[in-house]
Amino acid sequence: SDALETGKRALKIGALSEQKAISDRIAIHLMRYDYETENGDPAIAIKQLKQAYRLNNYFVPTVTRLATYYINHSKHRKATKIIEQAWAHNPHPDLADLWMMLTPEKQNKKLKWSEKLVALNPDSAESQIAAARAAMDMNLWGEAKAYLTVAEKIHPSARVFRQRAIVEQNSTQNDDAIHNLMEKAANALPDKKWVCRQTGLNYDSWSAIAMPHESFNTIIWDYPGARTLE
């Protein structure tokens, strides 16, 4: 609470930009949510989470936490709605993972469910990859290849080439094609990761505090090596 008040005063006197002040407030609310979820009052936790969501309804760490909360409380429609809203502005593999958890039980609807992400943001490689993953899970290798080909045109990342290699392995079994794709993956553009913008360290997930150096709100979704010292 003291940190939130300090942030408000810093904004008022111009020591923080409005964008940075909001980002820091979100980080504090999420930090409190994580703490209260593990050690404290669930009612306080969800209040903190919803405050963070009101400040930015497509910041991925907030949306994933809130969608997970809704899924765990069998509020699947609410989870679906907030993922859709976030995906339209900020597609992210963590959101795709939650979207797949919400897939209807009927197997024949699985691909159509992922194709909704493509409709929401067709110019995103993440949308194409999500649809390809669903097709691969259903052994629809031709459909998977088609989506990955589009993803490659948008952003030819290592992940796209690795998945294309899997498709070839399970469809044509063309060793030359597989070898070529894996070579492309080795030399491709890197995939984005959670990375500390001060140190360049990579993380599996976002947190308000970047360990072990304990910097506050410095973890962002970016390409490895894209470090910007403040």
Both ends of the chain: CA-CA distance in Å? 25
The two structure tokens encoding residue 144: 């998977």
The whole-number pLDDT of residue 222 equals 93
User: Rounded mean pLDDT of 119-124?
Assistant: 96
The whole-number pLDDT of residue 161 equals 96
- CA distances to 5, 74, 116, 128 from 138, in Å: 52, 26, 17, 16
- The whole-chain average pLDDT of the chain stands at 92
What pTM was computed for the model? 0.89
User: Rounded mean pLDDT of 177-204?
Assistant: 93
| Residue 50: pLDDT over 80 | yes
The whole-number pLDDT of residue 229 equals 41
User: Rounded mean pLDDT of 201-216?
Assistant: 95
| Amino acid (1-letter code) at residue 157 | S
User: Rounded mean pLDDT of 37-50?
Assistant: 92
The whole-number pLDDT of residue 175 equals 95
Tokens 């392995």 — which residue? 169
Contact 70, 53 (CB under 8 A): no
